[in-house]
Amino acid sequence: MPLVDFLTLGFTSYFLGSIPFGLIVSKLRGIDIRLHGSKNIGATNVVRVLGKKWGIITFFLDALKGFIPSFFFPLFFKGSQFDDIGVLFGVFSILGHTFSIFLNFKGGKGVATSAGMLAGIVPLAALIGIISWTVCLSVSKYVSVSSIVASFVVLLVVLLDKSCSSILQILMISITILIIFLHKENIKRLLNGTENKITKEKK
């Protein structure tokens, strides 16, 4: 596995993850998503400000940022014995999303991009995560709670799946910790009873 190729694709993964699709979508609609709602560029805030359709588009594009590096980039290293290289490329993309080079190293919370990465590596875990997120959201109406619960569910699936490597399990622990850390303000608002539910912002 040539180091130059790995570094090139690693940077490409980070660069791809850095593309702020939530901001781009909102700009196409004539507003800056960073000035509305929670001021976050993620799909949740896009739903709240622009509506479900644009939020779904943003979620899909953010997920694609994680799927492409984790699924396609390892094809360049077919001779490599490192089976988990897709995980690393996916993590680079997640870091790009949460610490975007285009937004002064700020960004979203990485949930959609993490889901895309999982879809490229362990589709079953991704599917279970999406189902648990959907069920939790339908009950609680809190996206933050649903995202945290889904991240723990996915982590549990990966830890219990004997086909998942130790590297994937360790990285999933790290990603779960990162997602919880990025939701720290949401957790504070939940404890204070001031967290917003998933409703479209009134104009």
Give 10-residue mean pLDDT values along the chain (203 residues): 86 97 96 92 92 95 96 82 80 96 94 94 93 94 93 95 88 93 93 82 50
pLDDT of 79? 64
Whether residue 202 is contained in a domain is answered as no
Whether residue 121 is contained in a domain is answered as yes
What phi and psi, each to the nearest 5 degrees, are found at residue 106? -115, 170
Q: Which domain holds residue 117?
A: 3-192
CA distances from 135 to 71, 140, 186 (A): 27, 9, 19
pLDDT of 167? 86
Whether residue 72 is contained in a domain is answered as yes
Closest among 140, 79, 85, 149 to 111, alpha carbons compared: 149
For 134-183, write each residue's pLDDT tens digit: 999 999 999 999 999 999 999 999 999 988 888 889 989 999 999 999 99
Whether residue 200 is contained in a domain is answered as no
For 193-202, write each residue's pLDDT tens digit: 998 887 655 4
Whether residue 142 is contained in a domain is answered as yes
Number of domains in the chain: 1
The secondary structure of the chain, three-state, reads CCHHHHHHHHHHHHHHHHCCHHHHHHHHCCCCHHHCCCCCCCHHHHHHHHCHHHHHHHHHHHHHHHHHHHHCHHHHHCCCCCCCHHHHHHHHHHHHHHCEHHHCCECCCCHHHHHHHHHHHCHHHHHHHHHHHHHHHHHHCCHHHHHHHHHHHHHHHHHHCCCCCHHHHHHHHHHHHHHHHHCHHHHHHHHHCCCCCCCCCCC
Whether residue 199 is contained in a domain is answered as no
Please, is 1 exposed, middle or buried when counting C-beta atoms within 10 Å of its C-beta (0-12, 13-18, 19+)? exposed
pLDDT of 174? 93
Whether residue 198 is contained in a domain is answered as no
Q: In which residue are the tokens 């644009």 written?
A: 54
Cα separation, 113 vs 129, whole angstroms = 13
pLDDT of 5? 87
Whether residue 167 is contained in a domain is answered as yes
